[in-house]
Amino acid sequence: MMTPLRVALLGLGNVGAGVAKLLLEQPDRLALRAGRPIELRHVIVRDLKKPRPVPLPPGLASDDYRRVVSDREVDVAIELIGGVTPTFEIFQELLDSGKDVVTANKALLCERGAALFARARSLGRTIAFEGAVAGGIPIIACINQSMTANQITGIEAILNGTSNFILTEMLARDRPYPQILKEAQRLGYAEANPAMDVDGTDAAQKLGLLVQLAFGTKVPLTSFTREGIDTLELADLKYAAELGYTVKLLAVAKLVDGQLEMHVQPTLVHRDRPLAQCGGAFNMIALDGDAVGKTVLSGAGAGQMPAASAVVADLIDMASGRAALTFPRIDVWNARPPLPVQRPEDVANRYYLRFNVQDRPHVFADIADILGRNGISLASIIQHEAPEDESRESIVPLVVMTHRTTYGRLVAADHELDQLDSLLPPRIRMPVAD
Amino acid sequence: MMTPLRVALLGLGNVGAGVAKLLLEQPDRLALRAGRPIELRHVIVRDLKKPRPVPLPPGLASDDYRRVVSDREVDVAIELIGGVTPTFEIFQELLDSGKDVVTANKALLCERGAALFARARSLGRTIAFEGAVAGGIPIIACINQSMTANQITGIEAILNGTSNFILTEMLARDRPYPQILKEAQRLGYAEANPAMDVDGTDAAQKLGLLVQLAFGTKVPLTSFTREGIDTLELADLKYAAELGYTVKLLAVAKLVDGQLEMHVQPTLVHRDRPLAQCGGAFNMIALDGDAVGKTVLSGAGAGQMPAASAVVADLIDMASGRAALTFPRIDVWNARPPLPVQRPEDVANRYYLRFNVQDRPHVFADIADILGRNGISLASIIQHEAPEDESRESIVPLVVMTHRTTYGRLVAADHELDQLDSLLPPRIRMPVAD
């Protein structure tokens, strides 16, 4: 049992450096828990001249991943290169050359995971990917191992720390999105190009991966509603708070009458719910299982050492032999027919709506009439007094919370509302989590 | 791989019935995730005539556990008998006869776990016990597998659902302990004899087990402070709320300067912290790891199906072979020297203190003087106006929050405070979680 697990690390960015740190600084701890030493044999970097935050033993670093592919002694490759191209091809070469692979590359698994999983399976190889979703939170192990007695019936999650940080700060500091984004970039909570984080893509990729594991169904990113926080106005966060809710970028997947309700959207969450209380750059995932009920996990969804903790846990699972037993039985091989995804127009929720109306007689009656005729009934309304009249007719926000209705009805009502010349853009619409 | 895992269930109480239900009603789901069928061969009950909530196939039930011991075909015994005697002896017989054992018996593992673990190990057998702590929350897997890259540095947890339910309801419904306890018993949240739940024993047993796994150190129940909620007064929950805190029965174990700070006590938790927001019969566990940071898990800590979910997850781990790889490497075998437990008098915290004082001049000055001379400084004070004078001198509560100090200093001050004839019992003292 004392044969070491021989490991190659591909990519020495932020998370890669964290993994190298754990492997080099904690060999005894890891050996004890793995049942054998874990030996780092190669570190593949793009630019050998770049200074590194972790001092590497001589001879370890190289800029040629083929050194790993051709080293028959390497048992496990840790893919922390990131991106889809050329990583997909490298990943395949690693599998083909007999390496098991640990990865935290959620974008790759989202786009090409099915192909990689199938290839690994046909080769008798193992892929482990705890670090790909929600960093240090053990959500993959929870679904693939701890909740195996259950049919998971629902996932509600905050999966993007950048968005959550920005939403928390906008409200706490009473500043609009662009200002807080800049600050988040300065503090390292948002990247120079934050598009994937703030437009909902990152959360949607992660949700897609969780759905694949929990429901055995691969859902393309284009088949469900995906909205980000990048167009949110501070005013709506404040109205939501006034109504008792916190706005979160919520990733939702639920079994509803044999279909999968699935969406990533800014969503109102009642302030008493744990998901509303998850602030800052943290992640939280609430799972519903048909036996266990609701189980909630939260923690650091990103960051060097939390992600490295997940990657090294996978490595220890590889070393102990557990990963090879888990991978062939994850629910993507369940051979059940894939679940149909509910059409966006059929998704039923309560909704938060904000209209900008000209402060004229009958405007509210007109709106309520249109909503009512489309089967949308109102649960509560906020209309504050109009600001003192200036030169022009004043514009006032009208906020309503609907009772449960479908997205399709809202769209139908929208076409009629378009005819009202007393309504000015934008019109805001967010679902309310039950 | 299609050899079934042959299973015997010992005990058909609440959780046992839940396990039987999953095994009998979900064979396909479980076989898919286990990689092979799970076959229930025996169900051992105390009284064969008692009506059962789960219809058992004929021939399965027996009142003699020796049927399991002598059946060489049984791979795994599920011990849900409960209690320590004669369960310990039965457990040993099961191991000796070559069975792996799944258990949810926290009291047994707390009292005799070391002996059972060692015996299983020497026999090459496996024990799995996810259900023994916090029901459906996968805390054992989290420590033993997901956080293996970390040294766990702290555990703060709500581990007793009965106590948490009672505390939540006392404050929400403005009723004293005895009334809410009665109601909890009526609703099934508290047992007819609730002593172990409300006096802190149950939470202390669970904490002891978590400490064994997280720190490789077995701590006897008698070596750390253990207080329950059974003597708490509603007034203190209200004063705590006024100060911005919620009182929780908190189980704490932390690494402090190479020692283990460990206690189970009613504790003030700031209302913004997740632990303060865990209400009702739920459990929550916050783990600190030196790589991952803080990770929080919450969910149903007890109940038929949540506990059954954990037991069956263990069974699937047994069937897949994972459990046999995990058990030999849990941190109880770490061969590190056991951590010394901090002496109770050295435990440092902020403290909540309530005195009942006679409303006379100088009383407050006397108290503050004694506290000050013992190195206890005050952070905040609540003293409401005394009620209108009745015939006798009025008694008013004086509530103070101290700065960080040690329990030893409080005890020293207590001796001096005993001399003040203007102080009346009780004197209340609770730590404040940082």
What string of DSSP letters covers A384-402?
PPPPPP-SSPPEEEEEEEE
- For an interface test with B, which of A14, A33, A278 has the most B Cβ atoms less than 10 Å from its Cβ? A33
Please name the residue ranges forming H helices in B321-397. 322-326, 363-373
Compute the average pLDDT of residues A394-402: 92
C-alpha distance from residue B315 to each of A304, B103, B136, B326 (Å): 35, 10, 14, 13
Task: Quote the CATH superfamily of domain A139-300.
Answer: Dihydrodipicolinate Reductase; domain 2 (3.30.360.10)
- For an interface test with A, which of B5, B309, B320 has the most A Cβ atoms less than 10 Å from its Cβ? B309
Q: What residues of chain B, 335 to 394, have a C-beta less than 8 Å from chain A?
A: 335
Sorted by sequence, the CB contacts under 8 Å of residue B153 that are 6+ apart come out as: B254, B255, B288, B289, B290
Half-sphere exposure (CA, 13 Å, Cβ side) for B212?
24
In this structure, are residues A72 and A5 in contact, taking their beta carbons and an 8 Å threshold? no
* Alpha carbon of B90: minimum distance to chain A alpha carbons (Å): 27
Contact A325 B326 (CB under 8 A): no
Residues of B in contact with A35 (CB under 8 A): 325, 328-329
Reported as a single tens digit per residue, the pLDDT across B420-431 is 989 998 899 999
For A139, nearest residue in chain B (alpha carbons)? B146
Reported as a single tens digit per residue, the pLDDT across A329-380 is 998 887 778 899 999 999 999 999 999 998 777 888 999 999 999 999 999 9
In this structure, are residues A278 and A158 in contact, taking their beta carbons and an 8 Å threshold? yes
Compute the average pLDDT of residues B76-82: 98
Sorted by sequence, the CB contacts under 8 Å of residue B242 that are 6+ apart come out as: B382
Residues of A in contact with B146 (CB under 8 A): 130, 138, 141, 310, 313
Annotated active-site residue in B206, B238, B254, B294? B206
Residues of B in contact with A300 (CB under 8 A): 292-295
For B305, nearest residue in chain A (alpha carbons)? A291
**CA B270, B272, B276, B278: dihedral to nearest 10 degrees?**
-170
Contact B296 A297 (CB under 8 A): yes
Question: Residue A320 corresponds to which amino acid?
Answer: S
Contact B33 A331 (CB under 8 A): yes
Q: How confident is the model at residue A389 (pLDDT cuts 50, 70, 90)?
A: low
Predicted local distance difference test score (pLDDT) of residue A366: 93
Q: Which of A419-428, B15-24, B317-326 has the lowest mean pLDDT?
A: A419-428
- Angle, alpha carbons B248-B311-B47 (nearest 5°): 100
The matching CATH number, chosen from 3.30.2350.10, 2.40.70.10, 2.70.210.12, 3.40.50.720, for B5-135+323-331 is 3.40.50.720
- Angle, alpha carbons A384-A168-A311 (nearest 5°): 155
Mean pLDDT of chain A: 94
* CATH number for the domain running over A5-135+306-333: 3.40.50.720
- For an interface test with B, which of A145, A147, A272, A275 has the most B Cβ atoms less than 10 Å from its Cβ? A145
Given a cut of 70, is residue B252 above it in pLDDT? yes
Reported as a single tens digit per residue, the pLDDT across B315-345 is 999 999 999 999 999 988 877 788 999 999 9
Rounded CA-CA distance B208/A241 in Å is: 42
Residues of B in contact with A34 (CB under 8 A): 148, 329
Compute the average pLDDT of residues B9-20: 97
Total CB pairs under 8 A between chain A and B: 184
Contact B320 A326 (CB under 8 A): yes
Q: What residues of chain B, 66 to 85, have a C-beta less than 8 Å from chain A?
A: none
Rounded CA-CA distance A120/A102 in Å is: 12
Closest by CA to A336, choosing from A214, A224, A223, A210, is A214
Residues of B in contact with A289 (CB under 8 A): 136, 309
Q: Is B325 on the interface with A (CB under 8 A)?
A: yes
* Alpha carbon of A292: minimum distance to chain B alpha carbons (Å): 4
Structure tokens at B77: 């015994």
Q: Is B288 on the interface with A (CB under 8 A)?
A: no
CATH 3.30.360.10, chain B: domain bounds? 139-300
3-class SS at B86?
coil
Q: Is A259 on the interface with B (CB under 8 A)?
A: no
CATH 3.40.50.720, chain A: domain bounds? 5-135+306-333
Residues of B in contact with A147 (CB under 8 A): 138, 309, 313
Q: Is A301 on the interface with B (CB under 8 A)?
A: no
Given a cut of 80, is residue B392 above it in pLDDT? no
Given a cut of 60, is residue B1 above it in pLDDT? no
Residues of A in contact with B136 (CB under 8 A): 289, 291-293, 295
Q: Domain B345-432: which topology?
A: Alpha-Beta Plaits (3.30.70)
Contact A295 B148 (CB under 8 A): no
- Report which secondary-structure segment, H or E, holds A21: helix A14-25
Residues of B in contact with A329 (CB under 8 A): 32-35, 320
Reported as a single tens digit per residue, the pLDDT across A275-293 is 999 999 999 999 999 999 9
* Alpha carbon of A138: minimum distance to chain B alpha carbons (Å): 6
Annotated active-site residue in A206, A218, A248, A294? A206
Q: Which of A146, A308, A335 sits opposite B138 (nearest CB)?
A: A146
Q: How confident is the model at residue B388 (pLDDT cuts 50, 70, 90)?
A: low
Peptide bond into A51 cis (omega under 30): no
Task: Quote the CATH superfamily of domain A344-432.
Answer: ACT domain (3.30.70.260)
Q: How confident is the model at residue A391 (pLDDT cuts 50, 70, 90)?
A: low
Rounded CA-CA distance B408/A39 in Å is: 48
Residues of B in contact with A293 (CB under 8 A): 136, 299-300, 303, 305-306
Contact A291 B30 (CB under 8 A): no
Predicted local distance difference test score (pLDDT) of residue B89: 98
Rounded CA-CA distance B222/B219 in Å is: 8
Given a cut of 70, is residue A390 above it in pLDDT? no
Reported as a single tens digit per residue, the pLDDT across A115-126 is 999 999 999 999
Given a cut of 90, is residue B248 above it in pLDDT? yes
Residues of A in contact with B298 (CB under 8 A): 274, 295-296
Phi and psi at A16, nearest 5°, equal: -55, -40
Contact A306 B296 (CB under 8 A): no
Peptide bond into A86 cis (omega under 30): yes
Q: What residues of chain A, 217 to 256, have a C-beta less than 8 Å from chain B?
A: none
3-class SS at B85?
coil
Q: Is A14 on the interface with B (CB under 8 A)?
A: no
In this structure, are residues B22 and A149 in contact, taking their beta carbons and an 8 Å threshold? yes
Closest by CA to A273, choosing from A301, A294, A302, is A294
Structure tokens at A353: 């709506």
Q: Is B271 on the interface with A (CB under 8 A)?
A: no
Burial A393-432 (b: 16+ CB within 10 A, else e): eeeebbbbbbeebbbbbbebbeeebeeeebbeeeebbbbb
Phi and psi at B137, nearest 5°, equal: -80, 125
Q: Which of A34, A145, A294 sits opposite B317 (nearest CB)?
A: A145
Size of chain A, expressed as the number of residues it contains? 434
Q: Where does residue B47 rank: exposed (0-12), middle (13-18), buried (19+ CB within 10 A)?
A: exposed
Report, in angstroms and rounded to the nearest whole number, the Rg of chain B calculated over CA atoms: 24
Q: Which of A151, A277, A325 sits opposite B29 (nearest CB)?
A: A151
Predicted local distance difference test score (pLDDT) of residue B360: 79
Largest Cα separation within chain B, whole Å, is: 84
- Angle, alpha carbons B317-B322-B328 (nearest 5°): 115
Residues of A in contact with B316 (CB under 8 A): 145, 148-149
3-class SS at A262?
strand
Structure tokens at B32: 């898919």
Closest by CA to B83, choosing from B58, B51, B106, is B106
Q: Is B218 known to be catalytic?
A: no
Reported as a single tens digit per residue, the pLDDT across A61-108 is 999 999 999 999 999 999 999 999 999 999 999 999 999 999 999 999
CATH 3.30.70.260, chain A: domain bounds? 344-432
| Sign of the four-CA dihedral A398, A401, A403, A404 | positive
Rounded CA-CA distance A380/A50 in Å is: 58
Please tell me the pTM assigned to this model: 0.95
Beta strand pairing call for A259-270 and A293-300: unpaired
Rounded CA-CA distance B129/B140 in Å is: 8
DSSP sequence for B294-342 = EEEEEEE-SSHHHHHHHHHHHHHHHHHTHHHHHGGGSGGG--PPPPPBP
Reported as a single tens digit per residue, the pLDDT across A229-283 is 999 999 999 999 999 999 999 999 999 999 999 999 999 999 999 999 999 999 9
Report the percentage of chain B scoring pLDDT > 70. 98
* Alpha carbon of A114: minimum distance to chain B alpha carbons (Å): 19
CA B7 to chain centre: 28
DSSP sequence for A24-42 = HH-HHHHHHHHTS-EEEEE
Q: Is B124 on the interface with A (CB under 8 A)?
A: no
Q: Is B146 on the interface with A (CB under 8 A)?
A: yes
